Amino acid sequence: MLNSIRVNLLLISLFLISASINAATYYVDQGHPSASDNNAGTEAAPFLTIQKAAYVLQAGDKVFVKQGIYNEVHAIGPQSGKPGLKPQNSGTAGNPIIYEAFPGHSVVVDQQRQGNGFFISAKHYITIRGFEIRNVYGRGGVHTQNGSSNITVENCHIHSIDWDAGSNVGGIRFDEVVKPVARNNIIHNIRVAGVLNGNGSGIASYGMEDALIENNEIYDAYNGVYHKLSTGRIGALVKKNIVHDVIRGFYYDVQGGGSPGHVNQRVTQNIVSIEPFGSMFYLLVLIMPYIMLTAAFTLIYIFLPNTKVQIVPALLGALFAAVLWQAAGYFFAEFVAKSSNYDAIYSGFAALIVFLLWAFLGHHE
CATH number at residue 30: 2.160.20
Query: 171 and 50 in one domain?
Result: yes
pLDDT (tens digit, 9 = 90+) per residue, 140-178?
999 999 999 999 999 999 999 999 999 999 999 999 999
Q: pLDDT tens digit string along 186-207?
A: 999 999 999 999 999 999 999 9
C-alpha 139/C-alpha 159 separation (Å) is: 13
Together in a domain, 242 and 306 = no
CB atoms near residue 272 (< 10 Å): 16
CA distances from 231 to 152, 165, 175, 290, 295 (A): 20, 26, 11, 52, 55
Backbone angles phi, psi at 48, to 5 degrees: -90, -35
Query: Do 269 and 315 lie in a common domain?
Result: no
Kindly state whether residues 335 and 221 are assigned to the same domain: no
- The pLDDT score that the predictor gives to residue 328 is 82
CB atoms within 10 A of CB 315: 16
Count of CB atoms within 10 A of residue 252's CB?
Answer: 17
Beta bridge partner(s), residue 144 = 120, 174
Task: State which of 275, 295, 310 marks the end of a domain.
Answer: 275
User: What is the pTM for the complete model shown?
Assistant: 0.73
- Same-domain pairing of 291 and 193: no
- State how far the Cα of 103 lies from the Cα of 74, in Å rounded to an integer: 26
> Residues near 116 by Cβ (< 8 Å), separated by ≥ 6?
82, 83, 84, 85, 136, 138, 139, 140, 141, 143
If you average pLDDT over residues 241-258, what whole number do you get?
87
**Same structural domain, 338 and 191:** no
pLDDT in tens, 318-336: 888 889 888 887 777 666 6
How many percent of the chain have pLDDT more than 90?
Answer: 64
pLDDT tens profile 75-93: 999 999 999 999 999 999 9
Q: How confident is the model at residue 350 (pLDDT cuts 50, 70, 90)?
A: low
- pLDDT above 80 (res 110): yes
Which structural domain, as residue segments, surrounds residue 355? 280-363
Per-chain mean pLDDT for the chain: 88
Residue 12 has pLDDT above 60, yes or no: no
192 shares a domain with 51: yes
**pLDDT at 10 exceeding the cut of 60:** no
Which string of DSSP letters, residue by residue, matches 51-78?
HHHHHH--TT-EEEE-SEEE---B--SS
Mean pLDDT across the stretch 61-71?
98
Among 275, 300, 331, the domain boundary falls at 275
Whether 252 and 298 share a structural domain:
no
- Which range, of 47-56, 73-82, 308-317, 349-358, averages the lowest pLDDT? 349-358
Q: What is the reported pLDDT for 306?
A: 76
pLDDT of 352 reads 65
Least confident of 3-17, 71-85, 169-183: 3-17
Look at the chain and report how many structural domains it folds into: 2
Domain identity same for 11 and 60: yes
Q: Which residue type occupies 236? A: A
Q: How far is the C-alpha of 52 from the C-alpha of 37, rounded, in Å? A: 6
Average the pLDDT over 65-83 and give the result.
96
Q: What is the DSSP letter of 285?
A: H
Domain shared by 12 and 152, yes or no: yes
Same domain, 259 and 296: no
Q: Interior CA angle at 198 toward 195 and 199, to 5°?
A: 90
The 10s digit of each residue's pLDDT in 302-316 is: 887 878 888 888 888
Q: Provide the 3-class DSSP secondary structure of residue 17.
A: helix
Which of 259, 275, 291 marks a domain boundary? 275
Q: Round to whole Å and give the CA distance between 328 and 54.
A: 68
Q: What whole-number distance in Å separates Cα of residue 338 and Cα of residue 111? A: 57
- Do residues 309 and 217 both lie within one domain? no
Contact 109, 50 (CB under 8 A): yes
